[in-house]
Amino acid sequence: MTDTNITIIGAGVVGLAVAAELSKFHKGVMVLEKHKSFGQETSSRNSEVVHSGIYYPEGSLKAKLCVEGRELLYNYCIKHNILFNKCGKLIVATDKKEAEQLPAILKQSQKNGVSDGHFIDKQQAYDMEPNVLAVSALYFPSTGIVDSHGLMKQLETEAVINGAEMAYNNSVVSVTKEDNYYRICVKEDEGDFSFTTNYVINAAGLNSDIISNSTGFINPDYKLHYWKGEYFAIGNGKHKMVSRLVYPVPQLNITGLGVHATIDLNGGLKLGPNTVYLPDKIPEYSVDSSHLKDFMASAGRFLPFLEENDLHPDQSGIRPKLQKPGDPVRDFIIKDEGDNGLPGFINLLGIESPGLTASLAIGKMVSGIISN
């Protein structure tokens, strides 16, 4: 007999979604989180966008789980009265060269199962967003924003009602395979302890590669790389000049989608994120004010009303990517490590964007892995 049945490491939005889903069908679910509450890292430091699933490679987990997760997420929000705004998203071309890239973007979205995207011309774009510069655009009505804190609180509540145990201020030191179960060593304020469990779900976000390595199975392809994304808020009353998400046409050879304009549920407007590689993997959340000019140069192409004194540093977040600069884009890793001698140890690695959108779908996928 083990001390518990299923242990989930990490109480970000993905860990909580897994807990809420598994606790419907299984007893003895425990969530370990090193912070004093849920969602203290990547899950609370993002733009809260509900993505459509446009850019991801066809057949990838990112594409599949984003499209599936988007509808699950909207339905979940309606059911539980979680705030969201299906405001829609514009991808705007500011010149003829950018406009020529729009058909390929639309085609990619359709391959991924995104069925609501369509072209709009210059006048239609102006009618929708008169303060945005666009010669043409794509419009995706299904993109939106969500109250990520409200979502995580509801997932935590659901998991607890289902019988799951939340253990905060508990840092996992190691996971060791012993016979047909796992021993998890934990550090907390009162000291170190260990317990046994049948299944381990590694949803530790920024530290998920460290947790995976602690088993003794070390795969160099599982190494995470930290990429900081900074945001600048728009002030001086100009936050009212945009009512939707506005993205530029992605530039070649960049790691993200480019600095874009994101509204929030409180009526604010911000720009971001950029992509700043952190080679030392030190989670540092300051916003470098010297990057303001770069934000202006990027966003000023499609938001011509902006002036430098309209912007001030806002928040930043860190994405746990599986690629360093110059590497090809990597997909999520969601995998039972049975073929590596660790049956019942399920890795969730590289869960960056669209992790928030895909969270409920990831929960269902992990539940399916355990059921099989």
| Burial class of residue 252 in the structure, from the number of CB atoms within 10 Å of its CB (0-12 exposed, 13-18 middle, 19+ buried) | exposed
Q: Does residue 151 register a pLDDT over 90?
A: yes
Q: Cα separation of 55 and 68, whole Å? A: 15
pLDDT in tens, 331-359: 999 999 999 999 999 999 999 999 999 99
User: Per-residue pLDDT for 233 more than 80?
Assistant: yes
pLDDT, the chain, mean: 96
Using CA atoms, how far apart are residues 342 and 270, in angstroms rounded to an integer? 44
For residues 199 and 231, is the Cβ–Cβ distance under 8 A?
A: no
Beta bridge partners of 227: 277, 319
Helix intervals (H) in the chain: 13-22, 61-80, 96-99, 102-111, 122-128, 148-161, 208-213, 292-299, 355-371
Q: What is the pLDDT of residues 153-174, one digit of tens each?
A: 999 999 999 999 999 999 999 9
Q: What are phi and psi of 25, to 5 degrees?
A: -120, -15
Residue 255 pLDDT = 53
Q: What is the pLDDT of residues 282-334, one digit of tens each?
A: 999 999 999 999 999 999 999 999 999 999 999 999 999 999 999 999 999 99
Q: What are the distances in angstroms from CA 308 to CA 20, 100, 300?
A: 44, 30, 10
Whose CA is closest to 186, among 206, 213, 168?
A: 168
Reported confidence tier of residue 252, pLDDT bands at 50, 70, 90? low
Is the CA virtual torsion 212, 213, 216, 219 positive or negative? positive
Q: What is the pLDDT of residues 114-124, one digit of tens each?
A: 999 999 999 99
Q: Which residues pair with 31 in a beta bridge?
A: 8, 166
Tokens of 41: 């890292």
Q: What is the pLDDT of residue 190?
A: 82
CA angle 36, 13, 40 (to 5 degrees): 30
Instruction: Quote the pLDDT of residue 257.
Output: 61
Helix/strand/coil percent split, the chain, to 5 = 30, 30, 40
Residue % of the chain over a pLDDT of 70: 98
Could you tell me the pLDDT band of residue 258, with boundaries at 50, 70 and 90?
confident
Query: Confidence class of residue 191 from pLDDT cuts 50, 70 and 90?
Result: confident
How far apart are alpha carbons 114 and 108 in whole angstroms? Answer: 9
β-strands 89-93, 245-248: how paired? parallel
Q: How confident is the model at residue 250 (pLDDT cuts 50, 70, 90)?
A: confident
Q: Give the pairing of strands 269-272 and 276-278.
A: unpaired
What's the pLDDT tens digit per position in 130-149? Answer: 999 999 999 999 999 999 99
Looking only at the bridges linking them, the beta strands covering 165-167 and 29-32 are parallel
Would you call 58 exposed, middle or buried from its count of C-beta atoms within 10 A (0-12, 13-18, 19+)?
Answer: exposed
Which residues does 348 contact at the CB level (< 8 Å), separation at least 6?
A: 14, 18, 201, 202, 203, 208, 332, 333, 334, 362, 366
CB 92 within 8 A of CB 140: no
Q: Give yes or no for a cis peptide into 273 (omega within 30° of 0).
A: yes
Over pLDDT 90: what percentage of the chain?
A: 96
